[in-house]
Every structure is written in C-alpha cells, then in structure tokens.
Structure 1
Amino acid sequence: MTNFNFKIDDNSNVLKFQQLVDTIVDSISRNQLKEGDMLPSVNQIMKECRLSRDTVFKAYAELKRRGVVESVPNRGYFVTQKITKVFLFLDTFKAYKEVLYGSFLKHLPKNISVDLHFHHYNIGVFEKIIFESLGKYSKYIIMNFDHEKVPDIIHKIPDEQLLVIDWKVHAKSEQSAVYQNFGKPVYSCFQQNLERIKKYMHFTFFYPPFTYHPKVAIDYFKKFCTENKIAHSVVFEPEKFVVKEGGLYLLVSDRTLAWFLDQCADKGFEPGREAGVISYNETPMKKYVKNGISVISTDFELMGQKAAEFVTSNEPVQFEVPTTLKLRSSL
C-alpha cells in the first residue's frame, strides 16, 4: 500500500470529505500517487483521521464518480488514471463568466481538476496568486488585464502551459490566446445594423469610471458614428448619464443597464420605442428583460470550449471568438 499522509484541518471552511478528495487529487496530480496504487482502506482513514465511515465513503464515491479511482471487491480502492490540474484565473464572476466556466468544465474529461481563482483587477492579488501557483499545475488559463506589471508576472509561466483568454492584452505572439476583439468586430456589428441605429436621433456610449472595458471600443464607436454622420457622444461621469427620448445607449455593464431601465421606468419610456439600448455581454436573462435587451457579445460558450481544447490537446492556439449583435426589442 502506498504511503499517504492526510490531516484534517478542523478550522477550514471546506467540508471534511472534500478535504480528503482534494488531497488525493493533489497527490495524484503530483505523481505521489500513481496509476495502480492502492489507497488506504476506509477503516484506516477513519482511524488515522478520526472521520466517520460515511465521510470517507462519500469522498471515495466522489473519486469513483470522477473516474480517478476504482474499487475492487475484497481488495480496496486503486488509482485508475493520472489527474491533470488546471489553474483558471478569471477577473470577476459575473453571469456571462458563469457561462464560460460552465462550458469549460463541460468540455473537459473527468480526470482533469480545475482550481478557480479571481483577481478583481487587483495587481497585488494577481501577482500573489500566480506566484503561489507556479509549478503546481499543468495548464494555466488566465484573464489578463491592462497593467504594466502583467507581462512580467505571466512570463513566469512556461509558454506551452499558458492560455490567455477573453482579452489579448499583454499576450505575446508565442503565448496561446482565445480572445475577443473589442474593436473592428464591434464596428462591423454596428455597420450591419445601420438602419436600426439610425432611427434614433443620438447615440451615446456610457463608459463609467468603474469599468475595465477596453478603451479601443470607444475609438471604433466614434469611427462608426463619424463615418455614418450619426450624432454621438461618450459619457464618462455617472451624473451626466441621462436617458432622453430619441436616444440610443451603448452600455458596458449590467449595473449601467439597471440605471438605464430605472430612468426609463421613471419617465414612462419603453426600451426600443422612446429610447433604445444595446448592452455588452450576453447573459441568460437578457432575452427576457423588457421583452428582450439587444446585446453585443462574444460567444462565451465557444470561448470555454476552445479553452478546454487547449487543455486536452496540448497544442498551441490562436483563436478570435466572433462578436455578434443579437437584435431584440430594445433596439
């Protein structure tokens, strides 16, 4: 039987059965437990770790469900396959990121374990978590952001193990990327729906101070409006965001969409009639809100799928996920 050391952390918020699962998964990923190795018996774990039989059985049942261990009658539990550990580093957890995350997990085999972290655009957190993760994972899937320290930090990760997703900022040509383009495709989406946009008297891009949305989107917004002789403006201060009759509004967050809808309710405006709106990033609910909110968005389902393919194929990738404008009643 393979030597296996496990200690319960009674102060942890993680359930005891999950602590046992995580420790075994980590041991397999580090080759401390190998294919064919026998795990300690249920009775041994119960005695050494002071766990109930139900807790140990629940942990082993979860490992069997994942396909990484199997039980042999009258013999015990054995490791059946190696586990690949993946580091997934997102900016924030919003509804559309949940779509990406769900798609990523759906397209991975059961023997791949994913640790999810968030940096919230905090460079100190970004640096600390990445440095603490170095050497512990087979693949690193990271959402970069625009900070001068980011290139040096991610350079610590071997290029063949790194995939930059969503925003290609600070990604080098030799580093894999599955990303959306915030510039030209946005312009093209507007151009393809020019007549719908032109029915409004003024087009406003609300870019609040709390957003991290790439500023290149502003450049292409202005380019579209200027070339098509559309009256337009970019509003940065929340107090200057005022919904007016005949106006069309481009919004980068759900918070600003709520502000738009609040003002419409106060003024008796129906989205798509007195005032129009295009919201960034598709979420499951936007098709139902106010008979449908028009959305300009990349395909986060496809982004998650392509990220999973990078993990399973071990091949470098450069893939721009298409951006589309989904027309609904708000435009």
Structure 2
Amino acid sequence: MTQFSRIDSDSEVPKYKQVEDLILSDIETGIFKHGQRIPSINETSEELLLSRDTVEKAYVRLREKGVLSAVRGKGYYVNRTTVGKKLKIALIFNKLSNYKRSLYASFVSTVGSKASVDVFIYNYDLAEFENILNGNLTNYDYFVILPHFRNEHADISAVVKKIPKEKILIIDKNLEELHDYPVVYQEYDKDIQQALGQALDLLKKYKRLNLVFPSNEYYSNYINRGFQIFNQMHGFEYQILNSLKEEDIRQHEAFILISDNDLYDLIKQVKLKKWIPGKDIGILSYNESPVKELLCDGISTISTNHDQIGQMAAEMILTNDFKRVKSPFEFIRRNSL
C-alpha cells in the first residue's frame, strides 16, 4: 500500500472493503509474507487518507477470516498467504482403520471445496513421521496430526515444533509436552470408565469382565488403567487378555474387545457354540462402525464420535478458531450385552 490513489472515492465498493482487497492483493503478490508485520492501522489510515475506523474495520475482518493475526501491543501480522485459493491440508495418520476413514470422510465433507486434503501414514514409526514432516514443511497450510507411536512415551515435541504452531492441529491424543497446542482429544482412562458406567446395568449380569487388549498393536495403555479402575470401583471380577484364545471364551462372562479382528474371532466361536450374545455371553466392542449395528442383531459399542471429531477439526481450520476440546465418547446399547 504505497499510494493513496489506490483507493477509489467514487467507487460503489465500501472503502473498508477496498482496504481489505488491497491487503489481500499485497499478500498474494508477495509484498507481505507469512509472519510479517503489516503497517499499523494509524500508518495505513494516514497513507490512504482514510479514517482510522475504516481501516480498523478492514483489519478486523481480515483477522476474523484468519488472514491476519493480532499481537497485543505489536500490531497485525500475516497469518495466511493462501488467500483467494484453496487451503492445502495434510492429515497425518498412524494407520488406516475404519475410525480414520470415518474421520477423514467427515473432515473432507466439512472443508468442501475450500481445501484440498492429502493423507500420510507413518505406521507408528517416529522416524517415518519425521520424514513426512521434513519433506512437506512448506507444502501445506495446515497439518492435522494423530500422534500414536510404538513407544507411547516417545518425545515428539522437537519434531512437531519444526512446523509453525499456527499451522498445527492435534487430534485424538492430548500430549503434555504440547499442552498449549490446539487439540481435539480423548481421555482414554476416563472415557472407558464413563462409557462402562452407562452399561452398568447390563454388565452386572456377568460373572467376570474381560478386556481383550492386543499386545501386538499400539493402543493406549490408559484404556487398561481406566478398565481396572472401573472394576475396582464397582467390585467386578475382571482380567486383561493380551490375545483371545478359545479356552478364554467362557459362558456368562462379558468381553470388551479393542480390536475388530478379536471381535470377529469371538463371534465365530459364539456361533459355533450356539450361544446367544446378550444372554450366554456379553460382547462390547471398541469404536463404532456401521457394520456393528448389523452383526449378531447388533453389537454394543463404546466409542468416540469419529464424524464429530473430523467436523470439529475442519471447522477450527476454516474459522481459524483453534482451541483445546475433548471429543465426545459414548456407549451405544444393542443386543450383544
């Protein structure tokens, strides 16, 4: 913005909108770069011979759109340079699963035509995760990260902090070392306690509660912790199984299954034994999916709302309203328990 003649006093376009368009144009042409401080409201009003209120209205509108960010006592800075074109968003997942597919579909549906979305898979490998970030630091406007690694206590903060903080949204896991980053998170220990509490009347029918927690997969150990606390609070006999063996499948006991593979194996055994789920044996599956409503006249589930997580994450990016939010978690009552 170097000449006051760039404002057309005779135009039907309001002056604040002309100021807004000027700033957008200067960002698109590279005059203002990402993270750069732009002239103050007073400087711009003097240069363009406009009232301070007119310029301030333009700045506030650009801040609300996420183009500018305001720092108290310092001024306005360029927050996003991809104005007038699609955002580029990287979704970085630990693995593909029904949960991730639901989240992805909801996320993409919510951003619509305003963004293009690419998916990267790092298979729980911290080195692969770092390679993905290193190769794409300047390629995307936002990075949406699901941080699950083989070593649950892996320190990923140094890797994540290579990306400007305003470009990152974390999903699913609340990391203490990134406590001031925006996140849509689960509280695994509290979530399972709360969901099992909703199923308490049904669980009381069974002699013992069994959590099948696969040792060869990388689920949060906080699920184990929450399961144990629940049983201790309510006086249930319980055990945690690393794998599901035929001899572990006993009548009049309930099974909480983290892995869908274990769920399908259990259903096969129940059919062979001609047991009735919800009567002879209790079945409760982790993570809701459409097929579970159809299996065995309905499989009860405990699950976060994957669609809602994807929607919430997308809306944060579109509105530039980043926050720390706990994802919803619920028990879905069906005939298997």
Aligned residue type for 2:95: T
Asked if the contact 1:141/1:165 (under 8 Å) is kept, the reply is yes
Are 2:311 and 1:308 equivalent residues in the alignment? no
Change (3 A) 1:98 1:32: farther
Asked if the contact 2:213/2:259 (under 8 Å) is kept, the reply is no
Backbone CA RMSD of aligned residues = 2.0
Alignment map for 1:5-24 (pairs within 5 Å): none
Asked if the contact 1:83/1:111 (under 8 Å) is kept, the reply is yes
Aligned residue type for 1:173: H
1:248 to 239, 244, 254: 254
Asked if the contact 2:111/2:314 (under 8 Å) is kept, the reply is yes
Aligned residue type for 2:322: P
Asked if the contact 1:206/1:234 (under 8 Å) is kept, the reply is yes
**Matches of 2:257 and 2:113, distance apart in 1:** 38
Give, in angstroms, the shift of residue 317 of structure 1: 1.2
Are 2:139 and 1:136 equivalent residues in the alignment? yes
Once the two structures are superposed, residues 153-187 of structure 1 have per-residue CA deviations (whole angstroms, 9 ceiling, x without a partner) of 11111111101101223561221101222111221
Give, in angstroms, the shift of residue 237 of structure 1: 3.9
2:285 to 279, 285, 295: 279
Aligned residue type for 1:153: V
Give, in angstroms, the shift of residue 253 of structure 1: 1.2
Alignment map for 1:249-264 (pairs within 5 Å): 249-264=255-270
Once the two structures are superposed, residues 7-34 of structure 1 have per-residue CA deviations (whole angstroms, 9 ceiling, x without a partner) of xxxxxxxxxxxxxxxxxxxxxxx9699x
Asked if the contact 1:211/1:252 (under 8 Å) is kept, the reply is no
**Matches of 2:244 and 2:295, distance apart in 1:** 23
Give, in angstroms, the shift of residue 272 of structure 1: 1.3
Per the normalisation by structure 2, the TM-score is: 0.72
Give, in angstroms, the shift of residue 239 of structure 1: 4.1
**Matches of 1:241 and 1:300, distance apart in 2:** 34
The residue that corresponds to 1:7 in the other structure is none
1:113 to 109, 112, 116: 116
Report sequence identity in percent: 28
2:86 to 68, 83, 86: 83
The residue that corresponds to 2:64 in the other structure is none
The residue that corresponds to 2:185 in the other structure is 179
Give the SS at the match of 2:229: helix
Are 2:212 and 1:206 equivalent residues in the alignment? yes
Choose 1 or 2 for highest CA Rg.
Answer: 2
Could you list the runs of 5+ residues in structure 2 that have no partner in the other structure?
1-26, 31-82
Are 2:302 and 1:296 equivalent residues in the alignment? yes
Larger CA deviation: 182-191 vs 235-244: 235-244
**Matches of 1:105 and 1:207, distance apart in 2:** 31
The residue that corresponds to 1:155 in the other structure is 161
Change (3 A) 1:237 1:94: closer
Aligned residue type for 1:101: Y
Could you list the runs of 5+ residues in structure 1 that have no partner in the other structure?
1-29, 34-79
**Matches of 1:236 and 1:224, distance apart in 2:** 19
4+ residue runs over 6 A deviation = 30-33
Aligned residue type for 1:299: N
The residue that corresponds to 2:126 in the other structure is 123
Tell me how many residue pairs correspond in the alignment.
Answer: 256
**Matches of 2:173 and 2:246, distance apart in 1:** 29
